[in-house]
Structure 1
Amino acid sequence: MGRAEERRARQVQGRRAAPQRSSGHESPGSGPGTKADGKKPRRTGIRRFVNWKTILGTFFGFCLLGMGAFIVLYMVVSVPEGNAAAKRQSNIYKYSDGSMLGRSGKVNREIVDLAKVPKSVQKTFVAAENKSFYSDSGIDLKGTARGLINTLSGKGKQGGSTITQQYVKNYYLSQDQTVTRKLKEMVISLKVDRKKSKDDILAGYINTSYYGRNAYGIQAAAQAYYRVDAEDLSVAQGAYLASLLQAPSQYDWAVASKTGKKLVEARWNYTLDNMVEQHWLDSGKRAAMKFPVPKDPKGAPGMEGQTGYLVEQANDELAKQLVAQGTAEDLDDAKALLTAGGWTITLNVDKKKQALLEKTVKEQLTSKLDPKKRKVDADIQAGAVSVDPKTGKVLAMYGGKDYFKHYFNNATRRDYQAASTFKPMILAAALEEKAKTHSGQPITANTIYDGTNRRPVVGSDIGFAPPNEDEHSYGPVTVQTAMNKSINSVFAQMGVDVGMDEVLKVAGKLGMHTKGLQAVPAQTLGSMGASPLEMAGAYATLDNHGKKVTPAVVAKAEHKDTTVKMPDPIGEQVISEEAADTVTSVLTGVVDDGTARVSVRNNPSRDGQQVAGKTGTSDNNRSAWFTGYTPNLVTSVGLFGENPKTQDHVSMKGATGLVLEGGRVNGGGYPAKIWAAYTFAAMAGKVTEFDLNTTSGAAVAPTDLPTATQTPSSTPSSTPTTEEPTTEPPTTSAPPTPTDEPTTTEPTTTSPSTPTSSPTDGVPDNPFDQTSQ
């Protein structure tokens, strides 16, 4: 070996034998993570591949890749032909048997030149949607990125699109909520912005946007909301239409909730303030502007009578399903898709039952209304829904006297109190939760409660002492009798015994809208709003032995080669079969020995048919209800007092010339009469009986009857005893012979004490019965 090799060998051998340094000084290159020889340890695992250089390189790589992909996309995607008015079609609506119900008219659209739209009105759209419109390149990168992220994460639609992007979506693309569509939208927007002037884009935007009320474009919208042409719109009106585009369904003043009205007013103010900020509107003129309340909507041609109500409800159900399955971003996009046309929609509505319901309402009620003789007769609105409890199909619906004359659907409106029709929900909760009275006894149909008028509830942090019907005190009564007579003091205490949280929870399971309601004792009086459709669903769930029924108007919907699968109206078991059947058993007593006995029990067409149901009459006689059912048919009928000009809730007292009980319209009167005439005719003589899994209630003779000597304890309730109830339970086959004749005497003149401010059933449900509620 040469000298050089020997020298290197000795150096290596010396380093191996060298001792560790013991001084506090470290050699260069030493330190944490460094070996004694000055070399850094080798990275292992994923650390061998990940460091700041690779991360930075990967980031820039993705950026370059994204830029390259976008360049390719820009070159590949061309501006397509417009898909607007020329491709719009009518929708076809059919009854369940396939016969024609109606056909929607042509799309309500009239293109207008931008020059015919006042400059100040044009600016309202820019101020509302895209202040940078005149200077941007057609896209909002931040807004588009946010939209893409929301789409990928399933969060749905969010604002951020420019006017150009929205125009492109309306005119060139679809409403689909997909990443592909959003990328195309961005590319086409860039190209359109280069090829077209800002005025052309703005004109396209305001002429293709959907404004609600079946109105496409600003001309149709101006007529639909203000009965003027677009060229005659004021700045205030234009600002409303521009604000409306964000959420037409929510912001349409005629149907908006209180929250919706507040939101659209806030957006209207936002739009005008932006105009001042952009120097498009004088601040003095802005300060003087008042919100321009739109006019009431008009029905579309071909939608007269009940057709419009049925079509609108079908569209609402289908729109919700399009959103649920991801075909549309939100309800407004879904309704725009429906309005675009090309759909064939088959309803569950039975043509014969629909005609029968319309005929019955006319014969039993509307033919007796004469606004020329009695002003109050003009205030009476009726709504009804009939459901098959085994399938959930809506077989018939009555929305009002005429879709052209009364735009609101009385069958689906939820702005009137449910009143005593809520009492079965309280009993259902007590049975489902196996609740006990304040004294610790199980709540059953035979449990005795104190029915004293204005009796303060026990066990509640909130003081509550509701009045009974006509301030009547009943003393000790069974739960069955309390349901028959609709005794408020009993059900107020029962609600507290069960727990109002549990009561609302069970009511929600049955199908009532209880979200957001306060769990307070006053809710036991049915102070929440409800619709005949909602009540029909809740009672159908009871009729279906506790298995959830969600009433469905739409059977199926087809568009070109696509069929929309509608959800199953029959859901899961939401309360036990025994609890549901016991409530049904108890509710037969309301018909056979309670507030509905005159109109239903004694109806000559009944022919022994078993019936369960409940009446209800709200505070100040503003609403009256009867929701009843047989084993195969559930129907809810509601009457509502509404001022035809202001839409305020008003009393129905004196309608049709009623004089008994101060002329009050009660649930046991016209609603029950309509129900009985329709139901017994619809049954076509087929008598059926309930198959109930229960051992208590009016439909089942109790094994232990309370004794006549039993008195209630000082607590709100006590144990069931063996006392004979005041009214003998009816048989399950034919209606029993009445034990007393309906009285026609005038009510006593004794002045009742001042009622509470809580909503009550302060009127008899039966106008011919002075003793029951």
Structure 2
Amino acid sequence: MGRAEERRARQRGGHRAAPKRRRSAPEAGTAPEAGTASGAGSGAASGATAGGKPAKSLIRRIFTWKKILGTFFGTCLLLIAAFIGLYLYVDIPEGNAAAQQQSNVYKFSDGTILARSGKVNREIVDLSKVPRKVQLTFVAAENKSFYNDVGVDFKGTARGLLNTVAGKGKQGGSTITQQYVKNFYLNQDQTVTRKVKELVIALKVDREKSKDDILAGYINTSYYGRNAYGIQAAAQAYFHVDAEDLKVEQGAYLAALLQAPSQYDWAVATDAGKKLVTERWNYVLDNMVEEGWLPKAKRDAMHFPKIKEPKGAPGLEGQKGYLVELANQQLEKQLMAQQGLTQSQAENAVVEKGWTITLNIDRKKQAALERAVKSQLTSKLDKKKRKVDGDIQAGAVSVDPKTGKIVALYGGQDYYKHYYDNATRRDYQPASTFKPVILASALEQNATTQDGKPIAANTLYDGTSRRPVLDHGSKVGFAPPNEDDVSYDDITVQEAMNKSVNSVFAQMGVDVGMEKVMSTAGRLGMDTKGMQAVPAQTLGSMGASPLEMAGIYATFANHGYKVTPTIIKSAEIQGRSADIPDAVGGSVISRTAADTVTSVLTGVVDDGTAQTSVAGNPSRDGQQVAGKTGTSDENKSAWFTGYTPDLVTSVGLFGEDPKTKAHVSMRGATGLLKPPGRINGGGYPAQIWATYTFGVTDKASFDLNTTQGAAVEPTQTPTWTHTPTQTPSQTPTSEPPTSQSPTQSPSQSPSQSPTKSPTQTPTQTPTSKPPTTPTTEDPLDPDAELGQ
């Protein structure tokens, strides 16, 4: 029986085996026979391989190169066929840019109409009216290959589609043709359907229209900010000239502006915004040189153009414009976060697009705030008599700390007269209104002085003016003066807050650690991006807005739960509602820390720099109040940010040259000529605050979870200990202490009898000595204050 027969027999169940063969070495050059050891081994290996073949064969049968390539090309053909179908199916629609411009309706919280903005500021101009090199600035800014491409950036569009599917939303790399199609034929929605339509229509438009027609459509439909649609309106809004009179450097600015109109508007841009638009402006001109459209010599001779002052849009006189502007900005921010729009796209999607936006603004509170500013400040300003009176700008924001709603806002005397919103501007120093943030950080971090004593309301510090700040014995190169250079001996944190003693809080900031202080400020709601964590920040030398400070103090009032003030109650368009997030978030500092800050700040009102204007106001009627004054260096700004249990309001006064917009001193304004003649935070800002607040709030008490501060009645005599003379953060540099100093919480039992009996009331704190240079209030000077 042959081998094949034997194998078939075994498969049929036969038992006949092949005869055994004698093992012998194979002859040289011949293969071993099947029965030899080598043959058996080979057979075993062959069997193992054979045993694994079914699995491998299955994978190979499914994933062959022919099938993979066939599937790939089949898919490509299907996509091509689908695209051809779409191309044939999708027609170029009628231009709807004008139809999209609808009135936005803005309402007070009770539903009554606040304002309606809907007159489109656009004048179409023929491309021949726009200088050729100005035309090219837009091509250089957005799409250098414009004159050679087919109207679509396939790579950028694919990236945009993938981002949309992934939920990221932001589109990358649209051509001028695509942007024109989006502006004129479609909308700003970030959906796959809209992006596919944009691609198809852009291809058709590029075939059916000339490049000049497309460019003309693009520059005439784009939104440039300042309520300006199209290049003619933009030329008038920013340079007060017609489009045909634009210079190349002016055109480059308008082209740069399209990336982020509000952020890049020079009149209201932050330092970061000015830097970005300047870089963008340079980028545009450099691209023109690179493309051979502008001689390098002319480019090098160009300077950034002077931007004209903006004018308010019709129908937005008085405070309306400020309220509408903030509502638009907050809605745009939401669309950017939720839909992934760029800033330019978000502005295009909001301004005059048919939104009905209901604000949180309370009509009665808004009217009361406006009356308070007029009665306490603007009625006393007379720029004909005093030039400085024309430099005074006021801003205020009022927030419900339990809900985060902005219930009233004052942006300036008139939106038409002062376009820049004083309520949201953050180019002035908040000064000593920042001191509570330092204390909050110390309490939150359980920080200690450099000799190991816990920082609390009754911890003693050296109040000597210009005292060098020390970091464990080493000078840090900072020795701030106190207000009017007044020096104090050992002084408690409570009294230092009452009198706004700079030297104490400068040392406290270093004790806590400035990185931790700035981190706390960020969590509370201050925009700390780019700020340096240096001791000078303890004086509030950074920029901040009344809106920002109102949010920080609202977080204190809300027991440490983050409050992000919002002006929008609801926003609807064509039956759809925008998602407005909760203005109150999670805890960012402990309740004990927040409540202790509130307790300490009641002392500023009852026994400190706000005593005359707030505590002594006849309308107070026993209302509990916490707050802090602030007066910046050279009297360029003055603040009072204060709160009751139900209402937080931040009021800021700013010195601004009406022509140059430079920061200037407010000294002598309203006729305050008697030295020092300055406007302090405890003067007009606190008076505005008190007149407004006591007229719109009901009497209520703070619910505080703390044993510290002026709002807490001490239950026991404070502990007094002898302070070592070498203690850097507590010992006066001018002389050794002459009395013992309290270092422990009043609730602890005394460890040593004091040399003299301290007196402490709910609104006062114990002091070991009176200040070495006493300060008194001039009853004839309503702005006199004890500190900063």
Q: TM-score of the superposition, structure 1-length normalised?
A: 0.89
1:618 CA drift (Å): 1.0
Q: Among residues 448, 453, 466, which one is paired with 2:465 in the alignment?
A: 453
Q: How far apart, CA to CA, are the structure 2 residues paired with 1:725 and 1:571?
A: 45
Contact 2:118 2:352 in 1 (8 A): no
Asked if residue 720 in structure 1 is aligned to residue 744 in structure 2, the reply is yes
1:2-32 deviations in whole A, cap 9, x for unaligned?
x99769989x98899898999999989x999
**Which residue is 2:734 aligned to?**
none
Q: How far apart, CA to CA, are the structure 2 residues paired with 1:464 and 1:23?
A: 100
Asked if residue 42 in structure 1 is aligned to residue 42 in structure 2, the reply is no
1:701 CA drift (Å): 1.7
1:507 CA drift (Å): 2.1
Q: Helix, strand or coil: the match of 1:662?
A: coil
Contact 1:448 1:720 in 2 (8 A): no
1:362 CA drift (Å): 1.1
Q: Among residues 611, 614, 622, which one is paired with 1:608 in the alignment?
A: 622
1:695 CA drift (Å): 1.6
Asked if residue 535 in structure 1 is aligned to residue 549 in structure 2, the reply is yes
Q: How far apart, CA to CA, are the structure 1 residues paired with 2:675 and 2:758?
A: 25
Q: Among residues 430, 434, 456, which one is paired with 1:444 in the alignment?
A: 456
1:713 CA drift (Å): 4.5
Q: Among residues 683, 695, 714, which one is paired with 1:669 in the alignment?
A: 683
Q: How far apart, CA to CA, are the structure 2 residues paired with 1:143 and 1:14?
A: 72
Shift in CA distance, 42/588, structure 1 to aligned 2, threshold 3 Å = same
Shift in CA distance, 123/27, structure 1 to aligned 2, threshold 3 Å = farther
**Which residue is 1:515 aligned to?**
529
**Which residue is 1:301 aligned to?**
314
Q: Percent identity?
A: 67
1:304 CA drift (Å): 0.8
**Which residue is 1:407 aligned to?**
419
Asked if residue 421 in structure 1 is aligned to residue 433 in structure 2, the reply is yes
Asked if residue 642 in structure 1 is aligned to residue 656 in structure 2, the reply is yes
Q: How far apart, CA to CA, are the structure 1 residues paired with 2:274 and 2:43?
A: 66
| AA of the residue aligned to 2:627 | G
**Which residue is 2:761 aligned to?**
729
Aligned CA-pair RMSD: 3.3
Asked if residue 350 in structure 1 is aligned to residue 362 in structure 2, the reply is yes
1:301 CA drift (Å): 0.6
Larger deviation: 52-61 or 311-320? 52-61
Q: Helix, strand or coil: the match of 2:224?
A: coil
| AA of the residue aligned to 1:729 | T
**Which residue is 1:744 aligned to?**
778
**Which residue is 1:762 aligned to?**
none
Q: How far apart, CA to CA, are the structure 1 residues paired with 2:194 and 2:25?
A: 69
| AA of the residue aligned to 2:503 | S
Asked if residue 84 in structure 1 is aligned to residue 97 in structure 2, the reply is yes
Runs of 4+ residues over 6 Å off in structure 1? 3-10, 12-28, 30-34, 37-40, 724-727
Contact 1:586 1:697 in 2 (8 A): yes
1:277 CA drift (Å): 3.4
Q: How far apart, CA to CA, are the structure 2 residues paired with 1:252 and 1:73?
A: 40
Shift in CA distance, 16/88, structure 1 to aligned 2, threshold 3 Å = farther
Q: Among residues 351, 368, 388, which one is paired with 2:380 in the alignment?
A: 368
Contact 1:364 1:674 in 2 (8 A): yes
Contact 2:224 2:261 in 1 (8 A): yes
Shift in CA distance, 568/244, structure 1 to aligned 2, threshold 3 Å = same
Q: How far apart, CA to CA, are the structure 1 residues paired with 2:24 and 2:197?
A: 68
Contact 1:91 1:341 in 2 (8 A): yes
Asked if residue 183 in structure 1 is aligned to residue 196 in structure 2, the reply is yes
| AA of the residue aligned to 2:778 | T
The structure whose Rg is larger is 2
Q: How far apart, CA to CA, are the structure 1 residues paired with 2:239 and 2:30?
A: 88
**Which residue is 2:495 aligned to?**
481
1:316 CA drift (Å): 0.7
Q: Helix, strand or coil: the match of 1:516?
A: coil
Contact 1:476 1:712 in 2 (8 A): no
Matched residues, number: 742
Q: How far apart, CA to CA, are the structure 1 residues paired with 2:489 and 2:54?
A: 88
Larger deviation: 124-133 or 623-632? 124-133
**Which residue is 1:768 aligned to?**
784
Q: Among residues 286, 291, 310, which one is paired with 1:278 in the alignment?
A: 291
Q: Helix, strand or coil: the match of 1:474?
A: coil
Asked if residue 626 in structure 1 is aligned to residue 640 in structure 2, the reply is yes
Q: How far apart, CA to CA, are the structure 2 residues paired with 1:221 and 1:522?
A: 41
Contact 1:305 1:402 in 2 (8 A): yes
Q: Helix, strand or coil: the match of 2:676?
A: helix
1:208-266 deviations in whole A, cap 9, x for unaligned?
11111111111111111111121222222222212221222222222222232233223
Asked if residue 164 in structure 1 is aligned to residue 138 in structure 2, the reply is no
Contact 2:226 2:310 in 1 (8 A): yes
1:271-314 deviations in whole A, cap 9, x for unaligned?
22333333333444333322222212110011111110000001
1:600 CA drift (Å): 1.0
**Which residue is 1:228 aligned to?**
241
Unaligned runs of 5+ in 2: 12-16, 33-38, 731-741, 765-773
**Which residue is 2:665 aligned to?**
651
Shift in CA distance, 473/52, structure 1 to aligned 2, threshold 3 Å = farther
Q: Helix, strand or coil: the match of 1:401?
A: coil
Contact 2:258 2:344 in 1 (8 A): no
| AA of the residue aligned to 2:426 | R
Asked if residue 690 in structure 1 is aligned to residue 714 in structure 2, the reply is no
1:150 CA drift (Å): 3.0
Q: Among residues 573, 582, 597, which one is paired with 2:596 in the alignment?
A: 582
Contact 2:606 2:763 in 1 (8 A): no
Q: How far apart, CA to CA, are the structure 2 residues paired with 1:253 and 1:26?
A: 93
Asked if residue 65 in structure 1 is aligned to residue 99 in structure 2, the reply is no
Shift in CA distance, 25/110, structure 1 to aligned 2, threshold 3 Å = farther
Shift in CA distance, 676/574, structure 1 to aligned 2, threshold 3 Å = same
Shift in CA distance, 4/625, structure 1 to aligned 2, threshold 3 Å = closer
Shift in CA distance, 161/743, structure 1 to aligned 2, threshold 3 Å = closer
Shift in CA distance, 606/23, structure 1 to aligned 2, threshold 3 Å = farther
Larger deviation: 715-724 or 584-593? 715-724
Q: Helix, strand or coil: the match of 1:296?
A: coil
1:397 CA drift (Å): 0.5
Q: TM-score of the superposition, structure 2-length normalised?
A: 0.87
Q: How far apart, CA to CA, are the structure 2 residues paired with 1:56 and 1:26?
A: 44
Shift in CA distance, 593/162, structure 1 to aligned 2, threshold 3 Å = same
Unaligned runs of 5+ in 1: 733-739, 747-764
**Which residue is 1:339 aligned to?**
351
Q: How far apart, CA to CA, are the structure 1 residues paired with 2:600 and 2:291?
A: 67
1:66-101 deviations in whole A, cap 9, x for unaligned?
223222222222222222103421111111111111
1:124 CA drift (Å): 1.9
Contact 2:432 2:631 in 1 (8 A): yes
1:514 CA drift (Å): 2.3
Larger deviation: 483-492 or 273-282? 273-282
Asked if residue 128 in structure 1 is aligned to residue 141 in structure 2, the reply is yes
Larger deviation: 251-260 or 402-411? 251-260
Shift in CA distance, 523/203, structure 1 to aligned 2, threshold 3 Å = same
Shift in CA distance, 560/156, structure 1 to aligned 2, threshold 3 Å = closer
Q: How far apart, CA to CA, are the structure 1 residues paired with 2:672 and 2:431?
A: 21
Q: Helix, strand or coil: the match of 1:529?
A: coil
1:673 CA drift (Å): 0.9
1:466 CA drift (Å): 2.1
| AA of the residue aligned to 1:375 | K
1:640 CA drift (Å): 0.8
Asked if residue 701 in structure 1 is aligned to residue 706 in structure 2, the reply is no
Asked if residue 258 in structure 1 is aligned to residue 253 in structure 2, the reply is no
